[in-house]
Structure 1
Amino acid sequence: MTTPVDLARDEEVTPRKTNLTVALIVIAMAQLMIVLDGTIVNIATPHILTDLDFSQSSVQWVVTAYALAFGSLLLLGGRLGDLFGRRRMFVLGVAIFAIASLLGGIAANSAMLLAARGLQGAGAALASPAALALINTTFPAGKERNRAMAVYAAMSGAGAAVGLILGGILTEWDWRATFFINVPIGLIVAAIAPRVLVESEGNDGTLDIWGAVAGTVGLFGIVYGLSHAGQQGASWGDFETLFPLIGGLVMLGMFVLIETRVKHPLLPMRILADRTRAVSLFSMLLIGAGMFAMFFFLGLFIQQVLGYSPIKSGFAFLPFSVGIVAAAGIASNLVSRVDPRWVAGFGGLLTTVSMWGLTNLSMDSSYATNLLPWVIVMGFGMGFLFIPLTLTATAGVDKNDSGAAASALNTAQQIGGAVGIAALTTAFTHYATQKGNELAEAGRAAMAKATAAGQTPTKEQIADATHQAQLQAQTFGSTHAFWFAAGMLLVGTVLVVALLGIKHDELSTEEAAVHVG
């Protein structure tokens, strides 16, 4: 017999007259918003740097704060959805994301903007794992669910391209608009979601708070230490560099210890015990570092050195997204016939060669000759990497660990980006400072020589020479950062080819489309 309590419970779990089309739009918009926010500010970064008085070495935190918060809290966000209901966490995450976007848009200083970016990452970490899971609970198996999965994959794959182009268009007007645009979208999604999405039932279990704290603090310490080492005048021996780095490593060690002892760990160590998954996750971390580095340093270079407008900069990256989607389609078919080590190895080789190509950029580089070929090659390389590594990272995992394995893959990519940008900014600052000092010394010698000859330069000539020297130093620093990024990608490629022993007939391609991009 059905009681009023049962009816009330059913009503809470299954919304009346669920409109699957609206439900799909809600999930797709949330996913697009989360994915594109990882790239949308890359185009706005030069303008943020100027308006909020960031330094060239500290502006990387605008990107890093989001990726670090997103990546380090992703496992916790998935676990919260399991325990307390995925729809509830989805709505909460989207609402936090929207509020954080508002705070970012009105930020009066760098500290407020960075806090808002971290809060955006926390909101994304709650909403993102729930979004995919809600497709399974809201859409019936078969045609409807397959359609939802396809749209979700499209949003994931298109997010980077949409973010770069939309970032360019909005930045042309005002960089703050790149944050404000999320506010109405996020609030509308949060308001409609409870009416059209089906809630999952909460699971019994405990929340691994100490594991989340240890992991987050450890990662922050490492990123902060690397970032401080990259500041002008800082060194690796500074207390403010060494203490966070050592403390971060200690906390990560504590994280591993905690995960081996708690009953419901955020990241079961048995996932990493499998060589195939461990290699896949570590390689994805290195790939994330390379991809984030390309967007960050190249975004600054093409605007500040080559003088591209924000809109032109956004469209300059469009071939990357076209390449990654095209290659992902090819790779999805190849992995059923070719061992993943060779598909991913080929992709890794392409990305390494592409990053090497970017080391040859100069102040006189043209888009068609010096940029476009490498942007396309990078896109294809990433497409050939993402599909096989997504499959190998989740292959053979126990059903109870499937969610944690998928979250670990996304975490590796985000954390790789955060740590990679911090490390490469250190390299950038070192070489840019070195070149800047050389050019300053040469400039002083030239001025002294001109003055002795009675040819004192005008203020305008001095200002122009100083500006040109700054651009030369930035170019020198950027190309060296690309060298280090190429090294990271090469290491990842070698690891994949040497250690990824799983065969193609042991894989399923069902998950391939979901995690593209």
Structure 2
Amino acid sequence: MAGDKELDVTLSRSESIRSTVHNFSPLHEFAFVFVVCMSQFMTQAALGTVLAPLDIISDSFGITNPGISSWLIAGYSLTVGTFILFFGRCGDLFGYRSMYIIGFVWFAVWSMIAGVSVYSNTLLFIFARTLQGLGPAMLLPNGLALLGATYRPGKKKFMVFSLFGATAPNGSVCGAVIAAIFAEFAWWPWIFWSMAIYCMVLAGLAVLVIPSSPAPARGMSARELLWETDIIGATLGITGLVLVNIAWNQAPVVGWHVPYVYVLLIIGTLILAGFFVWEIKYASNPLIPFETLNIDVSFILACVACGWASFGIWIYYFWRFLEDIRMKSPLVAAAEFAPPTVAGLIASFTTGILLGKIRPGWIMLMAMMAFTIGNVLSAIDPVHQTYWALTFVTLIIIPWGMDMSFPAATVVLSNAVGRRHQGVAASLVTTVVNYSISLGLGFAGTVEAHVNNGGKTFHDRLKGYRGALYMGIGLGVLGLATSLVYLIKSRPRANEEKTLSEEVTE
């Protein structure tokens, strides 16, 4: 009965939003889709804004250790990945629109503080960047939930979700270009101050164009809210993920021989084990409904984890290769990153068409191939080769991995969990994507630190970067193998479904 009641609430929420959207003018609908897609755009833009001027920002704080520099990226992705599930549940309770607006306001506040940290020290900047990630953690699941609740299954929904995915590479490139301009021709704190201003503008637009959604939390007691939000599960899950991630990203900075690194890893792993025990056996409203997650979902999430960890390694070390090895300025490097904006759009709309024609498993296979090939080409890219050879080809291929894997995974999970847990499906995908980026950087940083002989010379740094990219290749190959196993395993069922469909048609 509780499940039926929860389903009724979910369905009534979806119908409420859909009925409002049916009254939209074309301009209003365009503005609605634009504002929601900005959640993905700004999430990746905040990644690109540090990638391009990383050396400039590091120099201003006196950072010389590459491991500490990587924290400027990893800290942000860490909080994005670890808090998505919790904020997705908050959206279910307090309303998607409210959480979405709060997300942009929070994003703006901590972007402002990240810029102000120029007057302080590295610790405040890393702290601000880490807390800045809570904004996208609120935006992504609730933005996806708004789109899911607004559009019924069909071609239009496929295209809208593909457009949402297409903003990822465009956001990253635009963020990098704007950051490079500010860093080279003005002052790098304006990168974050301008981001804060834009986030506040988007928060205002969200107030105007996003329809209100029901907030079941109204009228609940504090005790009921604690159980509905699964605060115990959220605390265990977030704490465990954070400790494991800190261990892997701190190890390249201080070394694995330092006791607190592996102690954090052990404690984090034990807490994560406690999270799974709590969620499966004791939680009345678990953050993750494990009973609905079948073996197909496990395969898909494993593919996404490997692919996006591979991507996280690629995006960081390919920027390092361009700026530190080829000695490109941030603005020139950002200009060279222009191809993903076009390739990403083509990949997204191609995926939107393919999702209605072939199984998502095939799309996931192609995505893993793109991630793997992109890392291979980057790892073997000669230092003095022309941009139009391997570098250009790499930048054309990589966006296909991003913009094929995300919608394919979302569709598979959406179909697997049913209508009651659509928000969970979207949250799980975005959690795995962003957490894997951060964790992948930790893996690659450990490899880099062990092969670069301290990184004192040009050739040692190049050796370290290539070693990290080889780690990205390994993760990509693992994702490729996993997607192949998934395809082989799901083939008999796909044939049965096809036969059943033909019999119904006859």
Give TM-score, length-normalised by structure 1. Answer: 0.81
2:110 — aligned with what? 100
Distance 1:377 1:135, change over 3 A: closer
CA contact 1:31–1:128 (8 Å) conserved in 2: yes
1:359 — aligned with what? 379
CA shift at 1:250, angstroms? 0.8
Distance 1:31 1:227, change over 3 A: closer
CA contact 1:221–1:247 (8 Å) conserved in 2: yes
**What amino acid is the match of 2:109?**
I
The 1-side partners of 2:411 and 2:209 are apart by 31
CA contact 2:40–2:165 (8 Å) conserved in 1: no
1:214 — aligned with what? 236
CA shift at 1:399, angstroms? 1.0
**What amino acid is the match of 1:166?**
I
1:312 — aligned with what? 332
Which has the higher mean CA deviation after the structures are superposed, 344-353 or 91-100?
344-353
C-alpha RMSD over aligned residues: 3.1
Match of 2:199 among 186, 205, 208: 186
Distance 1:266 1:141, change over 3 A: closer
SS at match of 1:190: helix
The 1-side partners of 2:459 and 2:95 are apart by 53
The 2-side partners of 1:422 and 1:311 are apart by 27
CA offsets 1:348-399 (integer angstroms, 9 cap, x no match): 2333233122222454343223422222232334444444333323323221
SS at match of 1:181: helix
**What amino acid is the match of 1:397?**
V
Give TM-score, length-normalised by structure 2. Answer: 0.82
Which has the higher mean CA deviation after the structures are superposed, 110-119 or 311-320?
311-320
1:87 — aligned with what? 97
The yes-or-no answer on 1:268 pairing with 2:289 is yes
CA shift at 1:426, angstroms? 1.2
CA offsets 1:211-239 (integer angstroms, 9 cap, x no match): 122112111211211123212xx443421
The yes-or-no answer on 1:473 pairing with 2:476 is no
**What amino acid is the match of 1:34?**
T
Distance 1:56 1:153, change over 3 A: closer
CA contact 2:307–2:401 (8 Å) conserved in 1: no
CA shift at 1:22, angstroms? 4.8
The yes-or-no answer on 1:46 pairing with 2:55 is yes
Distance 1:21 1:486, change over 3 A: closer
The 1-side partners of 2:130 and 2:104 are apart by 14
The 2-side partners of 1:143 and 1:337 are apart by 11
Name the structure where helix makes up a greater proportion of residues.
Answer: 2
**What amino acid is the match of 1:71?**
G
The 2-side partners of 1:30 and 1:386 are apart by 15
Which has the higher mean CA deviation after the structures are superposed, 293-302 or 406-415?
293-302
For 1:6-405, list aligned pairs within 5 A. 20=29, 22-54=31-63, 55-107=65-117, 108-135=120-147, 152=164, 154-156=166-168, 158-173=170-185, 174-203=187-216, 206-231=228-253, 234-260=254-280, 261-272=282-293, 274-405=294-425
Match of 2:490 among 502, 510, 516: 502
CA shift at 1:208, angstroms? 1.3
Distance 1:67 1:271, change over 3 A: farther
CA contact 2:351–2:403 (8 Å) conserved in 1: yes
Distance 1:360 1:139, change over 3 A: closer
CA contact 1:138–1:197 (8 Å) conserved in 2: no
1:448 — aligned with what? none
CA contact 1:72–1:411 (8 Å) conserved in 2: yes
CA contact 2:48–2:172 (8 Å) conserved in 1: yes
CA contact 1:66–1:118 (8 Å) conserved in 2: yes
Match of 1:420 among 440, 451, 468: 440
Distance 1:366 1:240, change over 3 A: farther
CA contact 1:362–1:475 (8 Å) conserved in 2: no
CA contact 1:212–1:266 (8 Å) conserved in 2: yes
CA contact 1:44–1:171 (8 Å) conserved in 2: yes
The 2-side partners of 1:119 and 1:128 are apart by 15
CA shift at 1:156, angstroms? 4.3
Larger Rg: 1
Task: Give the share of equivalent positions with the same residue, in percent.
Answer: 23
Which has the higher mean CA deviation after the structures are superposed, 44-53 or 142-151?
142-151
CA contact 1:78–1:126 (8 Å) conserved in 2: yes
CA offsets 1:58-91 (integer angstroms, 9 cap, x no match): 1111111111101100011111111112222112
The 1-side partners of 2:324 and 2:276 are apart by 42
**What amino acid is the match of 1:313?**
A
CA shift at 1:421, angstroms? 0.5
Distance 1:506 1:384, change over 3 A: farther
CA contact 2:166–2:345 (8 Å) conserved in 1: no
Distance 1:354 1:101, change over 3 A: same
CA contact 1:363–1:472 (8 Å) conserved in 2: no
CA contact 1:57–1:230 (8 Å) conserved in 2: yes
Distance 1:300 1:280, change over 3 A: same
Distance 1:41 1:277, change over 3 A: same
CA contact 1:271–1:405 (8 Å) conserved in 2: no
Count of residue pairs the alignment pairs up: 461
The 2-side partners of 1:351 and 1:295 are apart by 11
Distance 1:140 1:397, change over 3 A: closer
CA contact 2:303–2:368 (8 Å) conserved in 1: no
The 1-side partners of 2:432 and 2:343 are apart by 22
CA offsets 1:103-159 (integer angstroms, 9 cap, x no match): 011112111111111211112111222223334667999999899767645534532
What are the ranges of 5 or more consecutive residues in structure 1 without an aligned counterpart?
A: 1-9, 437-468, 508-517
